[in-house]
Structure 1
Amino acid sequence: MSYSMTSSGYPSPSSMGLPTSTQHMKVANKATAVRELQRNHKTHMVKLENMKPGIDMRPPKAYPHVQMNAKRMQIEAERNSAIERENKILLGKMYSIMNSEPAYKTEQRASVTSLNMTVRKQEYDRIARENQAIMQRILQRDSNFNRGRLDADWEVTQRYLHNISEYPFVLGMPTPSKKKGLKPLDMSTISGGASAVEAEAEAEAA
């Protein structure tokens, strides 16, 4: 920051922000009053620079026993050691199970037999024989319908249909109905009627 210098080589009070006028004051000596104002202003600036805050904004003091909790670290170490010990025990059990012979190969287990096995087998054989007999009766039974007679009846029915049909008969299609045509007009009747009408008209005129 540059200041305007006086003839004596010192920065001027106006460039330093110091008061230089006493017009707002009633004093006997202006020079003395200006020096007093400047001295008070400098004292005020020094106090502002050295002023301390009323609220302590510094971080709180760090306590080693809070940052490094020895008890918590000890508990975690004991817990990790217990977990590791249990894992080793479990691994040993799994290894012994995988390398040992299965129990069903070494132990001689007593075979479980049913008390009514013979009765159930006899019942099963009886049901199988009855089913076989029913199937044989079904296969050996003659049909109630005579296919040859049915075919002959159908041929007779088709012959009847052809005889009564005006158009070629097609099974499954409706038979077209006969259309009634108009009778042709008799021209002699029409001419005779016209001559009779003319005769009546001449008689009325006479």
Structure 2
Amino acid sequence: MHRSYQPLKPVTNRYLQQRWDQNNYENHRRKVSSALPVVDTKGMRSPAHVQLKLKKLQLQDERLSTIHRDNRLLASKLADIVCSKGLVDHQNQYHLRSLNADRRREELLLVSRQNQAIYQRITARQSEYRRQLWLGDWERAERWRDNISQYPRGLADKRCHLCLCLQRSHRKVKFATVEDDGWSTNCSRSETDRETHT
């Protein structure tokens, strides 16, 4: 048998009370589902510059622009190659120049001027050595040596030359064997003996 609604408190009309109780329960469930927490447990909102990263987008745009420019250059070069008659452009019309050439030239001129100034100072400087006094002292020493020596100065050189000549003249020379009347003799004479025999 179907049981009717049994309210908690005594009422005059059970059906109306059931309907009111049902409405109250639905309102309660709606409030519970839409209730907000008292403590905010959500994380901190990330800043806009961290989410969007404008610098990264700018770098990407610059990179894409350089890529597009290079692609346009390549496309123009390929179009020139296709339209040309196959000529090879292998000549370099530019000359290499150093960016530092003027500075190096100035430094070289400065060094050359300094060297020239040093050379002028060296050549304009008078000698501090007294050469005339040295020559006088040398001549005086030569005279003293000639005075105390036993032999004249040039005689010693001549004697050495004569000794060498005499040593050369006393060499022994061997001649071949000579046979006179069955006797064989070896002749050895000095050059001085030969000169006396001849």
Indicate whether the TM-score tops 0.5. Answer: no
TM-score by length of 2: 0.30
Please say which structure displays the higher CA radius of gyration. Answer: 1
Higher relative contact order (CA 8 A, sep 6+): 2
Higher strand residue share: 2
